[in-house]
């Protein structure tokens, strides 16, 4: 039954992804996500509803604005598809339950945060802090335990210490994102942080090999790596952590 339900939530997931594109574009600039309606960033012409259908309109228009023919970034349909896939995965793993709803909200927030960090090198407080609060409250109500608060505090503190020790490596936005990861994952946040740090080492090593000491001044957005670790932690964190502890 879960595969059928997962397939049913794909269209709403695409619509959610379309909304996340608006969030990622407007929130960092302090603009409303409701008004005005969608418009082309190049010519500012309003986008008609039939040109705003997730993925489909992008393909029909050949990735260009109908009015001025300026190219539309591939990131837009990618965000829509990724969001739909993650929402479907939440239903597939957790069923049609409150846990799936919280997991989908968590995934959507990670997508929005990653999009803003990749494009603008910023993790907006207006996205990550409310997200952390909602998730912490939901997890505590659904599964009463101090685990979620401890996970949030521990993960945030860990990255805060790292940010203070190496301010060029990450910022306070990453610390707040770690807070949200801990609120959602509890003890499994250790898996998310470890995988995020390890994944971020790959581009760092590449830059260091190519540019030498100059690579230290080349910023790498850390948010998407943390988000990737968070997704692994969500869907497989407990199993990975238990397997690791078994080896000790």
Taking only the tens place, the pLDDT of each residue in 133-185 is 999 999 999 999 999 999 999 999 999 998 888 766 678 899 999 999 999 99
The domain in which residue 127 lies consists of 97-248
- Same domain, yes or no, for 67 and 101? no
pLDDT of residue 9: 93
Write down how long the chain is: 248
Q: Which pLDDT tens digit goes with each residue over 82-133?
A: 999 999 999 999 999 999 999 999 999 999 999 999 988 899 999 999 999 9
> In terms of domains, do 158 and 201 share one?
yes
Among 48, 67, 96, the domain-final residue is: 96
> Does 110 share its domain with 91?
no
SS3 at position 39: strand
> What is the distance between the alpha carbons of residues 116 and 29, in angstroms, rounded to a whole number?
11
d(C-alpha 90, C-alpha 86), whole Å: 6
pLDDT-based confidence at residue 50 (cuts at 50, 70, 90): confident
* Number of domains composing the chain: 2
Mean pLDDT of the chain: 88
Does 180 lie in the same domain as 90? no
Q: Say yes or no: 91 and 104 in one domain.
A: no
Structure tokens belonging to residue 43: 């010519």
């Amino acid at each position: 039954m879960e595969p059928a339900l997962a397939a049913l939530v794909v269209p709403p997931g695409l619509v959610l992804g379309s909304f996340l594109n608006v969030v990622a574009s407007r929130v960092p600039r302090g603009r409303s996500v409701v008004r005005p309606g969608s418009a082309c960033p190049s010519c500012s012409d309003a986008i008609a509803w039939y040109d705003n259908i997730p993925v489909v309109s992008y393909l029909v228009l050949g990735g260009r604005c109908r009015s001025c023919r300026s190219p539309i970034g591939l990131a837009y349909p990618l965000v829509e598809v990724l969001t739909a896939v993650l929402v479907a995965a939440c239903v597939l793993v957790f069923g049609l339950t409150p846990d799936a709803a919280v997991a989908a909200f968590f995934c959507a927030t990670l997508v929005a945060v990653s999009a803003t960090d990749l494009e603008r090198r910023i993790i907006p407080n207006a996205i990550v802090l409310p997200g952390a609060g909602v998730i912490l409250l939901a997890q505590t109500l659904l599964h009463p335990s101090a685990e979620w608060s401890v996970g949030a505090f521990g993960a945030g503190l860990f990255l805060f210490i790292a940010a203070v020790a190496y301010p060029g490596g990450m910022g306070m936005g990453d610390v707040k994102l770690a807070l949200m990861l801990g609120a959602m994952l509890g003890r499994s946040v250790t898996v998310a942080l470890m995988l995020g740090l390890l994944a971020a080492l790959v581009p760092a090593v590449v830059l260091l090999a190519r540019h030498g000491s100059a690579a230290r001044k080349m910023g790498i957005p850390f948010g998407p790596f943390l988000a990737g670790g968070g997704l692994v932690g969500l869907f497989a964190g407990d199993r990975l952590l238990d397997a690791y502890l078994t080896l000790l």
